[in-house]
Amino acid sequence: MNRSVKLLKFLLWSGLTAVSGTILIAASAYLYLSPSLPSVDTLRDTHLQTPLRVFSKDEKLIAEFGEKRRTPIHFTDTPEPLVKAFLAAEDDRFYHHPGVDIMGLMRAAVQLASTGRIQSGGSTITMQVAKNFFLSHERVFSRKFNEILLALQIEQELTKDEIFELYLNKIYLGNRAYGVEAAAQVYYGKSIDELSLAQWAMIAGLPKAPSRYNPINGPERALVRRNWILGRMLDLGYISQLDYEGAVEAPITASYHGPRIEMQAPYIAEMVRQEMVERFGPETYTEGFKVYTTVDSVLQTSANEAVANGLFAYTERHGYRGPVTNLNEDEEGNPVIQQEEDATALWKKTLKETRSASVLKPAVVTAVEDQSVMILMKGDKLDRIDWDNLKWAKSFINVNAFGYNPKQASDVLKPGDLIWVREMPDGRFRLSQEPEAQSSLISMNPENGAILALVGGFNFYDSMYNRATQAIRQAGSAFKPFVYLAALNEGLTASTIINDAPVVFADEGLEGTWRPNNDNMKFNGPMRLREGLYRSRNLISIRILREVGVNRTVNFLTELGLPGDALTRNLSLALGNVSMTPLELTTGYATIANGGYKVMPYLIQRVDVLDDTVFEANPAIVCRDCKKEQSSPEGAVSEITETSPEPETDDDSSATVASINEAESVMDSRVNYIINDIMRDVIWKGTGKRARALERHDIGGKTGTTNDSKDAWFVGFNPDVLTSVWVGMDNYSTLGRWEYGANAALPIWISYMKTALADQPEKRLPQPAGIETVRIDPKTGQLAKQGDPEAIFELFRKENTPKSVSEGSIPSLEDSGSFKPEDLF
């Protein structure tokens, strides 16, 4: 009995000593470690590392930039079966323990004592949150003890659901996916709420070892773990037997999915990325910026298609350069494959390794028939190219010559040819090739400079060179409207008679004798200034510039916003011998399209971080009805500016007017109105007549072609949409003898503007006061005689209207403007 009592006392004292020792050690560890522990208060304001996302103005995802793919979601938006799957896999007592699972820790302690390392963590979800947010992943005791202490603190500060939300958004799940929403997108290309029970269980199995249990890299191991989790869910009563049986039978459907890009605008995305990095540095990729651009997704898609189709039309006009290679033969034409099975294997391997080029897909010719060919495509897809989509392929000789039209398919292709094809709207495939020419398209709202669509080339991934913003190209005849604008501003009129006749200049600045000519080598004699522009007559432009003066013209155009360093100070300026980017030229045209106001292009409308708008664009806006109480600051504030609070006022309407950043008026609105009217004649009477297909009377524009057809342009607009198109070679070689702005660039413009102006009513700028419409004699530009059947109406500024009635002879300039008499003939 005494021995039993003594033993009991010993055990009690031993237990008390052990507990006391444990408490003492724990207290000592706590006192030692707690000062170095981070504050868990910060978890409430945790900002997860989230990539930069770029959107269109209608919130279509354009691009995503950043090392980590993460899309945070709220716990209330998380599917319950997914939550149950994670509980089954990681911590089924999560909602019952205080942040630490004693039994799990005891197992970890035994492992530590026996092996010297912790093999299975015994970590609760709360402890994993502590580790992921505050601690390293080193498997040592001090880290584990810190993890326990932090978990206990976290449980005091946050609710269980808040802890679970942090966990679901923070955990790494393989393939750059952080958080469950990103994992759903990476592995299944869907949102987390669109997945099946089997897929939720698959994702819940990833935290233990994202590489080992990855369904893409290790599908067998992933399947075993998924089914184990489903079994745990069944045992815990989370799912029914029927649900379990259906889920374990489900096949693995995971495959890698990139960001869910909703529209193709890679040049836009890169422009935004560069501007954001310039502003925010490396944080651009981690702070979760959402950038909303001015780009319209429908218009951008139309722009992509218009540019691609225009370049395909160009390349087809010049003939087929042949297949990429022939896989069945060597360079001498000798067969390299003896067995059909070997050929098929080589074809499939080559197709798998060959990336698409924009809308072009690789294909291998498997058989040639009379007027069609059979092709093999990726995914073992077999298809046919019929004669309608093959017969264009006459052989290319050079940009000015091509061979005879083919009569049968064998004239073009043979088995084993690796070719490019593109899918047509009717689903058929067409023989194609990568265009040698390049193009840019810029569409802008001329009222405020907002970029509606932009294409910088045929294939961004082949060449990230943005021709819309980086290519320095000659403007050619597309620049002429600015020369005429300066002339009208100086007092010439649309009816001023100028001689379309040869002229020779001897000028040291022009390196000797200069004999400019018209494109068609013909001369039409005296004609009105209006005709000179819509017919794009070079000699008329030169005489106008000589009369107004080069320096005076350059100074005027610089005030409009054109880059002064690009404007040549000699008479070649009249022919568009100026080099600038398409965006710079388009910006200049905005001043014409909007009635004479200076606006600057901008792309970023606003930037959000989390749910707050932190930056917003403040572009200069055309406001014809605004009454300015003070002059506008020079230039347009079109960049992102920090958002400031609205001014306090009792009058809402006055606050609205005060907040408008008015665009500066830089020319007489009457001069602008007249040049707009002349440029509409370019469409209906001149070089832009193809645009009549739009059946609109509110559009104006100008074609442009440079020497040797190195550049082809069309810039056109109405008051709502301004669009420029450029086509040319990156190496500045010729497009070909028969390529002009009217057939290389204008069809692209028309295709795009059909979409841009669809269902939009016709709209013209309001006629300003001080404009008079007068009947004139078209031969002399003077007032028409009463009853003259050939008389036409012309627009004039009130002070420049003709003063005398036509007598049939051509007047000097003193009768039609404010100039001194001067012979322009």
Q: Could you give the residue numbers annotated as active site?
A: 90, 477
CA–CA separation, 777 vs 774, rounded Å?
Answer: 10
Nearest by Cα to 483 from 635, 678, 686: 678
Number of other residues whose CB lies within 10 A of the CB of residue 58: 12
Q: Can you read off the two tokens belonging to residue 736?
A: 């070909």
What φ, ψ does residue 55 adopt, rounded to 5°?
-125, 155
Q: Can you read off the two tokens belonging to residue 528?
A: 């009105």
Amino acid identity for residue 664 in this structure: E
Residue with tokens 């707009």: 676
Amino acid identity for residue 228 in this structure: W
Which value, to the nearest 10 degrees, does the dihedral of the CA atoms of residues 493, 496, 501, 506 take? -60
Q: Could you tell me if 811 and 497 are in contact, meaning their C-beta atoms sit under 8 angstroms apart?
A: yes
Nearest by Cα to 63 from 264, 281, 282: 264
Q: What residues contact 23, with CB distance under 8 A and at least 6 apart?
A: none
Which pairs with CB-CB distance under 8 Å and at least 24 residues apart come from 35-39?
Answer: 37/134, 37/146, 37/149, 37/150, 37/153, 38/134, 38/150
Q: Can you read off the two tokens belonging to residue 112?
A: 């530590």
In three-state secondary structure terms, 383 is strand
Nearest by Cα to 454 from 276, 271, 625: 271
Q: Could you tell me if 346 and 338 are in contact, meaning their C-beta atoms sit under 8 angstroms apart?
A: no
Residue with tokens 């012309």: 794
**Cα-based distances in Å from 739 to 437, 469, 526, 775:** 11, 23, 28, 38
* Integer-rounded Cα radius of gyration of the chain: 37
Q: What residues contact 601, with CB distance under 8 A and at least 6 apart?
A: 442, 444, 449, 450, 451, 583, 586, 587, 590, 638
